[in-house]
Amino acid sequence: MKDTGYYRVLKGHKSFKPPVTIVFLHGTSLSHQCWLRTATELSTQYGVDALLLDFFFHGASPPPPHDSFRPEDLVQQLRAILVELGWEKRRITIAGLSLGGAVAQLYHIEYPNVVERLVLAGSGGLKEEGIAITRPIRHLLKPARKLLRKVPSSVKGKGSFLDRARCFAELAKTVPDYGVPQDTPR
């Protein structure tokens, strides 16, 4: 575990020139484990390099090094890991599930020259027909946010359950709605 959080690299057995790299991003309250079988298969069967990471507050990663917890912070976490690996200039494919899909899209917007393709599954940030998922979550989190404000700061230490709850509440406010028309009140 580092300041960038937990990540795992699976090196492919083939030496592609340039290397074929797939970054796997998980959804809210999941970890890199949700992609591990897929990444292992692609790495061993097809020889691609795979990067799996745990976003801050997920899996084996710590809380973020600062108080903020927004999708943009997760983009910077991914960027820091790629720089640490020396992969910041590699052309990459990003596979994102839910929150990971929203982060993948934001990464592509921020660094379009390195993202070769996106694979999005149930991605945040897309307007899809169907039931709005994050809107009910936001509605349920309003009372929780009020309660969290009343909890003494000694109980809300960095990394505590209450600190995680506060950060997830903040994240739910900032991730775009699924399938909610623009004129729907929030």
Domain ranges of the chain: 7-121, 134-174
β-pairing verdict for 92-97 and 21-25: parallel
- Among 26-40, 65-79, 167-181, name the most confident range: 26-40
Question: What token pair was written down for 76?
Answer: 């910077």
Which pTM does this prediction carry? 0.71
pLDDT bin (cut points 50, 70, 90) of residue 182 is very low
State the residue for tokens 């690996």: 85
Provide the 10 A C-beta neighbour count for residue 92: 25
Kindly state the average pLDDT of the residues 46-63: 91
Write down the mean pLDDT value for the chain. 78
Question: What token pair was written down for 9?
Answer: 């690299």
Kindly state the average pLDDT of the residues 11-26: 86
- Among 89-98, 129-138, 169-178, name the most confident range: 89-98
CA 121 to chain CA mean position, Å: 13
Look at domain 7-121 and name its CATH class.
Answer: alpha beta
